[in-house]
Amino acid sequence: MDLLKRKKVVMTPVQILSLGFALTILTGAVILTLPISSVNGTATNFIDSLFTATSAVCVTGLTTLDTASHWSYFGKTIIMFLIETGGLGFMSFTTLYALIIGRRISMRERMIMKEALNAESMAGIVRLVKYVIIFTVSVQIIGALLLMTQFIPDYGVGEGIYFGIFHSVSAFCNAGFDLTGASLIPYNNNPVVILTISALIIIGGLGFAIWMEIYNFKTMKKLSLHAKFAIAVTLILLILGMIMMYIFDFAINQAYKDMSLPTKILNAFFASVTPRTAGFFSVPTVTMSHAAIAITIILMFIGGSPGSTAGGLKTTTIGLLVMTVISMLRGREDTEIFKKRINKMQVYKAFTILFIAFGVIFIGTLLLSIAEGEKVVGGITMNLEHYLYEIVSAYGTVGLTLNLTPTLTAPGKIIVMFAMYIGRVGILTFIFSMLRRNKKDDYGLKYPEDKIVIG
C-alpha cells in the first residue's frame, strides 16, 4: 500500500512565486480576450491578449496593440490592475486579503513574501507588506492628483481623473503603459507632467525597504549600507545619464532644433530616468542618435534597485561589480564600499547574475533576429541594434521600443514575452524554480586549492 501512495509535491517559495506570476498573466490574458475588454466589442486574439497581460504583470509596457485605442475602459482597468499586481507582487494582495479577514499569515507565506520583496529576512515581513501597500497607495494618489491638474483641462473631468490615476499607477510601478497613444510626447514641454512622472518612476524604482528606512531615519539615526549604496548609485546614474543624453543627443540632434534649452534639459533628464525601467518617452525613440540608443540600452540593462517595482540587473548589482573592480585595481583583497567589506558570496552572486543576464540577452537577440529577419518598419530596416534594444527593454522590464513591437510575428512575440517574464521574476528565481540545487556538504569538505593563469 505504501508504494501506491503518491509522494506529496512540496513547492519551494521561488517555484510558487514563478508559478504565481504565470497564473496571474494567464488569468489576465483570458479576461482581455473577452469582447467586453475591447472598444469594438469583439474578441481579441489570444496571443496579443497574452502579450499585453505579460507586459502588464511584468510591468514592462511593450504593446502589440495600442492601449489607448484598442482596449475599452474595462480592458484598461484590467490592465491597470495587472500592473499594480505585477508591481507590488501578487503575494502583497494575498497578504492584504488575509489581514482584512483576520487570517493568520503562515510561515510558508512569509517565506514567499520574503522572496517576492527581496527582503534579507522574514523578520517584520508582514509589517513591511503593510508599509508597502500604504506607501504605494499614498504616493499614487498624490501623483494622480498632480497629473489630474494637467489632464482634466485636456480631456475633461471624468477622463482626466481616469488618465491621472492610470498614469500614476503605471509610472510608480515602472510599467510605461499610456493612454495618450503617443506616451508623453504631447507633454514634453510640460514640467508638471514630466517631473511628476519622473518622481513616480524614481520613487517606485528605489525600493520599498529603502523608503521605509528613510521614513524611520529620525529614530534609526542612520541608513543601512544597502540603502546608502542604492541611493548613491541611483543618483550617479541619473546625473551621468542626463549629461550624456544631453551631450550626445539633445545638444546635437537636429530633430530637437526647435526645442528651447530648458525643454532640452528637461527631456534629457527624463531620457535618463525612464530607461530605469519605466518605458515612457517624451520624444520619439526613432529620432535618437546611435549614441543615445547605446546609452539607453546600458541604462535599461542596469534598471532600478532590488525590492522595488523596477527590473533590470539592479543598481546595487552593477555598483557592487564596479566597486569589486576598483578594489581589485587598488590591490584590495576584499570588495570595499563606504569603509565596509562585502561578503565574497555576494560578489560571486553579482557576477553570476551578470553572466547569466548577458547569456539571456545574447540568446534572446539571436532568436529574435532569426524570427523577424530583415524587415522594414516605417522605412527603416530593422537590424541587430533594433533587436538588441527590444530584448534588453523586455528583459529589463522597460517597455521602450524602436517601433518593432507592434510588427512582431507570433514567434517574435513569444520570445519577447519570455524575456519579460524572466526579467520580472528575476533570473536567479527563474533558474532556481527550474532546478533542484545541491545541498551544502554537511562535513564542509573542500577540494585542494590550485591556480590557473588569467588575463
Q: Is residue 66's pLDDT more than 50? A: yes
The rounded distance, in Å, linking the Cα atoms of 424 and 419 is 9
Angle at 351 between CA 346 and CA 353, to 5 degrees: 95
Could you tell me whether strands 380-381 and 340-341 are parallel, antiparallel, or unpaired per DSSP bridges?
unpaired
Domain range summary for the chain, segments of one domain joined by +: 11-433
Q: Is residue 90's pLDDT more than 60? A: no
The rounded distance, in Å, linking the Cα atoms of 21 and 423 is 12
In this prediction the pTM is 0.89
Q: Is residue 6's pLDDT more than 60? A: no
Cβ burial, residue 438 (10 Å; 0-12/13-18/19+):
exposed
Residue 70: its H or E element: helix 67-70
pLDDT, one tens digit per residue, over 204-215 is 999 888 888 888
**Phi-psi category of residue 5: left, alpha or beta, with phi > 0 → left and psi -120 to 50 → alpha:** beta
Look at residue 448 in the predicted model and tell me its pLDDT.
Answer: 83
Look at residue 12 in the predicted model and tell me its pLDDT.
Answer: 65
State mean pLDDT over 374-396: 92
* Helix (H/G/I), strand (E/B), else coil: 334: coil
State mean pLDDT over 400-428: 91
DSSP state of 71: B
Look at residue 13 in the predicted model and tell me its pLDDT.
Answer: 62
Ranges assigned E (strand) in 243-344: 336-337, 340-341
pLDDT, one tens digit per residue, over 426-449 is 776 666 555 555 555 545 667 787
Q: Is residue 9's pLDDT more than 80? A: no
